[in-house]
Structure formats: structure tokens, C-alpha cells
């Protein structure tokens, strides 16, 4: 998470080491409070954090990252400051540490705010710790560092890691032949760099898809080729089978399975979305099917997110109208959340709805963004300033703040002057938070909310 002229990216408690009795007691109380908020069926928190300019997209290790007055820190699930905003940029916690930046220097803090790895510009670090390690490089060396700041191992000459660790392994690339392999947390090469592609180190059912000479096969976590590359097309394994060559299924020994092979269904199995085409001038509809391809939830949604923590954000078929090439969500409708039986557990009402992560989902309604729990109750509310690429001097930030306040006070039927132009709010659009504004000669219907505009547009946010 950062506020800068060049970029503008937005961005449970676990004890580190041995804690005293009082610290352990406080940690237990924090965890209990998190559980209460996540499982509450009443509104526990409804903080108006309008002084918080940016709140991170995810809830990690019991905290959100946030920024205010061009400095970033961390707040808890109730919006209280845990680590005061004091850094130019922060990343979410991972493995109990968070990356923080001051100017060109990078360091890492624990969840009490203690600096564990001091600020330095000696290395270029990765963003997150995984399996207790983070990548680093300098002009003369590269490798992985542990959570004490000690070098765990250096990369061999001509070999680099292409991502962070996952399940004890990291994808590596040989710059000599351009091929890929795998390395473990001790720096040992597990799978030699002989493959054209690896499926992003995503092991599924214990096997990883690998490509050599335009043919796909599978290796296990020891680097052994369980199924020699031989297929022009291959999917990941799921529940003991994988689709290959588009029309065949194989088991984990490579044996071909009958096309009508069925997997025994259990409640924890994922559902996959499928599309129903309705013609050139109509919305396609989406539903969900099980791993055997049997329809579980009929195709009745304009848009769906994959299931996360048992819920999926969906946009019902009656939620939009089409204006030109754009769609506007109608008043009283929007995204809601269904469970795996298709039951709507959080009523359709949001203009944007993201997947649940650690018990919370980020949603938008009436021009405001906030987090809800699985009961659909607000946990933290906040505003975001417009994403002006150049609004980062104190004077420009004041202008951006004024714009946000202006947007929140637009009234239907009144005429407003802005930057020498006169606009009249003609009517409330399909969603309560927006109004179409009309100038004397031209009516604007741009679908961009006021708080996101970079120039004069015709949709304004109205106060709740």
C-alpha cells in the first residue's frame, strides 16, 4: 500500500517467539474479539473512517493496512490504530512480518510495530515472506533471507527465483538455457531446470504440470516425473483425475479413464462456474456445476465470483439495464452472496462485491466502500480519495479532499458551478448513490462515479 506520485496501489493474530503470560492473555482476547466480529449477526462496528484515505483490500493476520496524510500503518478489525501511520508504503503481513518503506529504504516489522529487519537500501527485497523466507538481491548476489535478517542461502550463478515459496518449493529459472525447475528451502535443486514451463508451482493432488518440447506431463514434489511429458494439452489433477487432450481423463499413474468416469461427491468439493449463451444482444448467464459436470445452481446470474469460504458474489439477471454499451445497476438490486446450495444468504444490494477473505469481504454501496462479515453486517466503513495520478502535493490533496466532500453533497434539481461550467442535476440514476448531471447544451451519462473522476464527467455521488 502506497501513496506516491508514481503509483497508487491499495493494499488472526499470531505470536512470534515466546510471549509472557500477559502478552499471551492479550493475544487470546484479541482473537476472541475477532471471532465475535466475524460471527456477529448485528452491527458491531460502523466507524466513519473518512479520515483514513486508503484501506487495504485484505484482512491479514488480524489487521488491515491503511494510509492517512501520506503515511501508512495498520488498523485492527474495529478500525483502531495498531501501528500508527509512519511509513511511505507498507505491504500486508505474511509469516508474522510486514514490509515497510521509507524513501528508498526497506525494512520489516512484526505485529507490535517492532523493527525486526532494519531499514536498508543494500538489497532489493521481495514483498512477502513465505515458508519463513523472502527473496533478496543486490548488484553482486541474490538468494533468500530468513525472518531474523540472516541469509539462508545464495542462488547458484545463473539461477534466479521467479516467485516466492509455496509449500516448501520455489520456481527457478536457468538463464543459460532459459528453462525452469524447482528449489527447496535449503537451496537444493529438487527438479532440474529442464522444463519450458511449470504451472506456476501450483501443485494439485500432489502433482505439478510441466512442459517440455511442447508436451505436458506431471512431476511430484521430489522432482520425479510421474507422468512423462506426452500431451499437447493437460489440466491440473483434481480428486485423482486430470483432463488431457481435451477429451480424455487419466488417473495419477497415467492410465486412461472411461469418459463417463464419475467422482464421488462430498460437501467440501468446489463448484465450478459455467456459462449459458443467450444470443448476441443479451447477457450470458452463469451458474455452477460440480466436478462431474452436473448442474448444481442454474445459470441465472449476469456475473459470478468463484466460491470463497463457502460463499460466492453473484449479480442476478434482473439487476442491470443497458445504456448504449454500458450497464447500470438498478436501484434496489446489485451483487449479493449465495451459498453452495444456491440460497441467497446476503441480499443483492452492492455495486461491487469481492470474495471473502479471512471472514470479511470488501463491497461497495451508495458510493462508499466497506467490509462486511458473513452475516452481511458492516464491520469497517471508509472513504477513498479519488485516484488522481498527480494529486499528491499538500495543495493538491486539499483539492482532492474538497472534491470528495462536494460529491457527497450533490442534490437533485440544483445547479452547480465547477471549474467555470454550470451543471444541473437532472435526476437520480439507477443506483441511489449516483445522479446524472446536465449542462445547458449537453447531457453527460458517463458511468464513472464522482470520487473516481479525473475530469468533468456527468455522474455524481449523492450522500446517503
Q: Give per-residue pLDDT as tens, 338-352.
A: 999 999 999 999 988
8 A C-beta contact, residue 123 and residue 107: no
Using one digit for the tens of pLDDT, what is the confidence trace for 59-92? 888 888 888 777 889 988 877 889 999 999 999 9
Using one digit for the tens of pLDDT, what is the confidence trace for 188-238? 999 999 999 998 778 999 999 999 999 999 999 999 999 999 999 999 999
Whether residues 65 and 13 share a domain: the answer is yes
Average pLDDT over residues 420-424: 52
C-alpha angle 223/225/226, rounded to 5°?
A: 115
What pLDDT was estimated at residue 143?
96
3-state secondary structure (DSSP) of residue 324: coil
Cell 460440480, residue located: 290
Whether residues 361 and 426 share a domain: the answer is no
8 A C-beta contact, residue 312 and residue 304: yes
Q: Give the total number of structural domains in the chain.
A: 3
Residue 168 in domain: no
For residue 306, the enclosing domain spans 272-382
Indicate the pTM of the whole model: 0.70
Residue 96 in domain: yes
Residue 74 in domain: yes
Whether residues 292 and 352 share a domain: the answer is yes
Question: Do strands 248-250 and 256-257 pair parallel, antiparallel, or not at all (unpaired)?
Answer: antiparallel
Whether residues 276 and 375 share a domain: the answer is yes
Which of the 8 DSSP states describes residue 404?
H
216 burial via Cβ count (<10 Å: 0-12, 13-18, 19+): buried
C-alpha span between 198 and 19 (Å, rounded):
41
What pLDDT was estimated at residue 25?
64
Whether residues 76 and 7 share a domain: the answer is yes
- Chain center to CA of 279: 32
C-alpha span between 185 and 166 (Å, rounded):
10
C-alpha span between 88 and 86 (Å, rounded):
7
Whether residues 421 and 349 share a domain: the answer is no
Residue 240 in domain: no
Whether residues 19 and 78 share a domain: the answer is yes
- Chain center to CA of 390: 25
Of 382, 416, 442, which closes a domain? 382
Q: Which of 52, 72, 102, 69 is nearest to 397 (CA)?
A: 69
Residue 15 in domain: yes
Whether the predicted pLDDT of 432 surpasses 70: no
Which backbone phi and psi does 418 adopt, to 5 degrees? -145, 120
Whether residues 377 and 413 share a domain: the answer is no
What pLDDT was estimated at residue 378?
85
C-alpha cell at 104: 528508498
Whether residues 322 and 412 share a domain: the answer is no
What pLDDT was estimated at residue 439?
39
Residue 291 in domain: yes
C-alpha span between 49 and 369 (Å, rounded):
11
Confidence of residue 454 (pLDDT cuts 50, 70, 90): very low
Whether residues 289 and 337 share a domain: the answer is yes
Whether the predicted pLDDT of 431 surpasses 70: no
Whether residues 377 and 433 share a domain: the answer is no
* 378-382 sheet: strands from edge to edge: 48-49, 378-382, 368-372, 361-365, 352-353
Residue ranges with strand state E in 339-400: 344-350, 352-353, 361-365, 368-372, 378-382
Residue 457 in domain: yes
C-alpha span between 80 and 143 (Å, rounded):
37
Whether the predicted pLDDT of 171 surpasses 80: yes
Cell 488472526, residue located: 12
Of 78, 102, 126, which closes a domain? 102
C-alpha angle 354/392/72, rounded to 5°?
A: 55
8 A C-beta contact, residue 19 and residue 27: yes
Residue 436 in domain: yes
Using one digit for the tens of pLDDT, what is the confidence trace for 244-277? 998 899 999 999 999 888 898 888 888 999 999 8
Whether residues 416 and 319 share a domain: the answer is no
Of 319, 349, 382, which closes a domain? 382
Amino acid at each position: 500500500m502506497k501513496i506516491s506520485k508514481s503509483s497508487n496501489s491499495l493494499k488472526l493474530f499470531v505470536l512470534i517467539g515466546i510471549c509472557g503470560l500477559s502478552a499471551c492473555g492479550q493475544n487470546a482476547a484479541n482473537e476472541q474479539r475477532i471471532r465475535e466480529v466475524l460471527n456477529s449477526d448485528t452491527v458491531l462496528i460502523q466507524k466513519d473512517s473518512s479520515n483514513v484515505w486508503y484501506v487495504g483490500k485484505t484482512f491479514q493476520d488480524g489487521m488491515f493496512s491503511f494510509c492517512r496524510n501520506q503515511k501508512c500503518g495498520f488498523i485492527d478489525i474495529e478500525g483502531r490504530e495498531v501501528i500508527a501511520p509512519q511509513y511511505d508504503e507498507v505491504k500486508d503481513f505474511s509469516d508474522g512480518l510486514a514490509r515497510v518503506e521509507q524513501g528508498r529504504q526497506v525494512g520489516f516489522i512484526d505485529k507490535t510495530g517492532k523493527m525486526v529487519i532494519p531499514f536498508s537500501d543494500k538489497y532489493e527485497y521481495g514483498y512477502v515472506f513465505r515458508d519463513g523466507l523472502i527473496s533478496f538481491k543486490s548488484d553482486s548476489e541474490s538468494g533468500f533471507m530468513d525472518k531474523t535478517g540472516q541469509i539462508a542461502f545464495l542462488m547458484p550463478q545463473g539461477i534466479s527465483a521467479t516467485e516466492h515459496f509455496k509449500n516448501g518449493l520455489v520456481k527457478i529459472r536457468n538463464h543459460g538455457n532459459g528453462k525452469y525447475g524447482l528449489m527447496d528451502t535449503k537451496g537444493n535443486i529438487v527438479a532440474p531446470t529442464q522444463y519450458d514451463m511449470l504451472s506456476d508451482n501450483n501443485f494439485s493432488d500432489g502433482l505439478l504440470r510441466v512442459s517440455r518440447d511442447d508436451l505436458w506431463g506431471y512431476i511430484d514434489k521430489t522432482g520425479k516425473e510421474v507422468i512423462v511429458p506426452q500431451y499437447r494439452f493437460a489440466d491440473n489433477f483434481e480428486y485423482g483425475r486430470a483432463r488431457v487432450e481435451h477429451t480424455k481423463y487419466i488417473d495419477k499413474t497415467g492410465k486412461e479413464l472411461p469418459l463417463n468416469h464419475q467422482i464421488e461427491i462430498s460437501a467440501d468439493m468446489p463448484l465450478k462456474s459455467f456459462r449459458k449463451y443467450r444470443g448476441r444482444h443479451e447477457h450470458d448467464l452463469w451458474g455452477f456445476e460440480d466436478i462431474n459436470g452436473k448442474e448444481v445452481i442454474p445459470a441465472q446470474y449476469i456475473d459470478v465470483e468463484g466460491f470463497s469460504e463457502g460463499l460466492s458474489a453473484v449479480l442476478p439477471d434482473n439487476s442491470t439495464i443497458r445504456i448504449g454499451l454500458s450497464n447500470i445497476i438498478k436501484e434496489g438490486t446489485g451483487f449479493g452472496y449465495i451459498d453452495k446450495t444456491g440460497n441467497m444468504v446476503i441480499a443483492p444490494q452492492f455495486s461491487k462485491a469481492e470474495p471473502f477473505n479471512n471472514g470479511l469481504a470488501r463491497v461497495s454501496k451508495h458510493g462508499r466502500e466497506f467490509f462486511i462479515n458473513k452475516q452481511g453486517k458492516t464491520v469497517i466503513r471508509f472513504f477513498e480519495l479519488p485516484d488522481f495520478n498527480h494529486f499528491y502535493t499538500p495543495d493538491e490533496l486539499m483539492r482532492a479532499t474538497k472534491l470528495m466532500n462536494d460529491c457527497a453533497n450533490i442534490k437533485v434539481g440544483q445547479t452547480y458551478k465547477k471549474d467555470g461550467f454550470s451543471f444541473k442535476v437532472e435526476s437520480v440514476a439507477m443506483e441511489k448513490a449516483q445522479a446524472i448531471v446536465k449542462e445547458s447544451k449537453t447531457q453527460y451519462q458517463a458511468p464513472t462515479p464522482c470520487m473516481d473522476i479525473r475530469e468533468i464527467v456527468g455522474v455524481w455521488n449523492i450522500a446517503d
